[in-house]
Structure 1
Amino acid sequence: MRSNSSPLGAVVVTGASSGIGQATAVRLANAGYHVFAGVRKESDGTALQLLTTGSLTPLILDVTDAERVAEAAREVDKSGLPLAGLVNNAGIGLAWPMEVIPPETLRWQYEVNVVGQVAVIQAFLPLLRRATGRIINIGSVGDRLTLPFGAPLCSSKWAFASITEALRLELRPWSVHVVLVEPASIHTSAIHKLRHDVEDVVAQMTDDQRTHYEASYRSMTDMAYEREQAGSDPDVVAKVVLRALTASKPATRYLTGKDARLLASMARWLPDRTFDRLRVKLFGLPSEFGGAAKQRVHL
């Protein structure tokens, strides 16, 4: 801990080891908040402290571990600092064909991205209510649309968006603002893990499943990889988080990142069938409805 005082109070940022969480923790610390940065390993926390001259305390935090979540809330409470904000950024992203994904893998996606987020919010809400702090949930533009093979991640973000909306209404009596930040393409180190994940998924497919899905699955993930490689810097999200924390009346949702507004507009205004055709073309999926059955007949 560099300092135990801050005129702006404390902010907890989960998933701060890298990417959006790291950029957010650094920007908020530089802005004058005392940041409690949720990390999985002590070495990540030490590295994070070197990135800012501001006030930052690493917080060992696994959102799926109830004891660690409770201990983290107690540690923040003991600091004596008012909790100005909770930034829920921790999460994982899985891409699978829905016919193929093991149920336990789908459950884990929800355990981290939905149940774990709720557990953290519940643990810190007494401190937020006491200080009239704010909740900033990092969602995704994927909470407005779904990509082929992206249902595990996108559906968890849809669920988190729904929870965010409910919280926004439920916490109004205590003047606790609840904000959803919806990034689109953001370039982070997590994208490099996608290549390994794709091979792992394909390896778990049966021969029939590979015949059905491998080509289109690889096409979609290759396109996703290219888009994320060309995505915005994570700091664009961090800037939005700071704006949401400091605005006298924050927006309920903030779109940010490359193509975020374009994607959201298409999802809102295009008819479903038109948007389907666009996604099929964009991600290199078979274009003809029923094409697989017709192909079998010709074989």
Structure 2
Amino acid sequence: MASRPRRRWYSVVITGAGTGLGRELALGYAARGCIVFGTAVSAAEVEELRTASGGRVSLAVSDVTKFTKGKIWAEGVSDALDGAGLDLLINNSHVIPPSPLEAISIDTARHALEENVLGAMSIINAFLPALRRSRGQIVQIIDASNSTPDTFFGLAAASNAALEALVSAYRADLKPFGVHVTTVSMGRIQGGEVSTTSDALMSALKNMGPAQRELYGRRLAEYSKSNEELGANALDPCEAAARLIEILDQKPALSRVAVGSDAKAH
């Protein structure tokens, strides 16, 4: 008889678990016998993962920028754990709208910062009572390719910088309570991320006025093409999830890790 996978965690929460890396992490932990909860952006994603996991992953449609709803969802998850506490929280939900900064509307920038930074803060705070109860671990995933300012990714870099500072502050705040905080610098992932970035670049071009299109159009098209070429060397999401799960199994827990050849742990 084959041995069951080693299980360090009992309960796991993953935001952005409907597709890509988040989905593979959810399936990976469910296969180890963990209780897995998470968020998705549509009912279709919820049903698909329920089927794929044999009912072992419970997702809810949730927008992390809807802070009150996120808190209610977190309270529901904590109640479902029946006072046992939460062992592992993985914050994976994020949006990265690429565009020249002068072409990004303030509303778009506000939404990106709310989801990437305040959304992560809201989810962490909502689960802290359960995490303290089990002396659990918080994992914040940050896009390695946008950790430093680059052409057309200034907003993403600003968001990442704010998020890294926030996570470092949580690390210091929570150390006395035995809650460990890990920052994961994640390299490019095959599939959705690469194609979504290219689509977003072309969408930014389409939404520009004539003057901005004259200034940035050619460079946006060139960058979109180079992004697709870089995507050829991106990590398979299943492989990336397996690597991260292996890293998070380590004791003592690491504070900063990198996954992927294009990622560096600071």
Q: Is the 1:20–1:188 contact (alpha carbons within 8 Å) kept by the matching residues of 2?
A: no
Corresponding residue for 2:13?
12
Secondary structure, aligned partner of 1:243: helix
- 1:76 Cα deviation (Å)? 1.1
After TM superposition, where is structure 1 displaced by more than 6 Å over at least 4 residues in a row? none
1:114-154 C-alpha deviation (Å, 9 max, x unpaired): 11111111111111011111000111214642221111112
Output the CA distance in 1 between the equivalents of 2:165 and 2:112.
16
Q: Give the stretch that moved more between structures: 191-200 or 11-20.
A: 191-200
Q: Is the 1:236–1:257 contact (alpha carbons within 8 Å) kept by the matching residues of 2?
A: no
Output the CA distance in 1 between the equivalents of 2:247 and 2:135.
14
Instruction: Return the match for 1:223 from 211, 223, 226.
Output: 226
Instruction: Return the match for 1:128 from 107, 127, 131.
Output: 131
CA change 1:237–1:228 in 2 (3 A) is same
What is the identity, as a one-letter code, of the residue corresponding to 2:210?
A: D
Q: In the alignment, does 2:220 pair up with 1:214? A: no
1:237-282 C-alpha deviation (Å, 9 max, x unpaired): 3234323443221221111124324xx7xxx8xxxxxxxxxxxxxx
CA change 1:14–1:72 in 2 (3 A) is same
Corresponding residue for 1:50?
51
Q: Give the stretch that moved more between structures: 131-140 or 190-199.
A: 190-199
What is the identity, as a one-letter code, of the residue corresponding to 2:113?
A: Y
What is the identity, as a one-letter code, of the residue corresponding to 1:249?
A: P
Q: In the alignment, does 2:44 pair up with 1:63? A: no
Output the CA distance in 2 between the equivalents of 1:52 and 1:224.
32
CA change 1:54–1:180 in 2 (3 A) is farther
Q: Aligned ranges for residues 1-299 of structure 1 at < 5 Å? A: 8-53=9-54, 55-79=56-80, 80=82, 81-142=84-145, 144-261=147-264
Output the CA distance in 2 between the equivalents of 1:60 and 1:101.
27
Secondary structure, aligned partner of 2:101: coil
- 1:74 Cα deviation (Å)? 1.6
TM-score with structure 1 length normalisation? 0.80
Q: Give the stretch that moved more between structures: 101-110 or 189-198.
A: 189-198
User: How much identity, in percent, do the aligned residues show?
Assistant: 27
Secondary structure, aligned partner of 1:86: strand
Output the CA distance in 1 between the equivalents of 2:258 and 2:20.
17
- 1:169 Cα deviation (Å)? 1.1
Output the CA distance in 2 between the equivalents of 1:205 and 1:28.
43
Secondary structure, aligned partner of 2:52: coil
TM-score with structure 2 length normalisation? 0.89
Q: Is the 2:99–2:204 contact (alpha carbons within 8 Å) kept by the matching residues of 1?
A: yes
CA change 1:84–1:241 in 2 (3 A) is farther
Secondary structure, aligned partner of 1:83: coil
CA change 1:240–1:251 in 2 (3 A) is farther
- 1:226 Cα deviation (Å)? 2.1
- 1:57 Cα deviation (Å)? 1.4
Secondary structure, aligned partner of 1:139: strand
- 1:109 Cα deviation (Å)? 1.0
- 1:16 Cα deviation (Å)? 0.6
Q: Is the 1:60–1:68 contact (alpha carbons within 8 Å) kept by the matching residues of 2?
A: no
Structure 2 residue ranges without an equivalent (≥5): 1-6
Number of residue pairs aligned between Structure 1 and Structure 2: 258
1:94-114 C-alpha deviation (Å, 9 max, x unpaired): 111112211111111101111
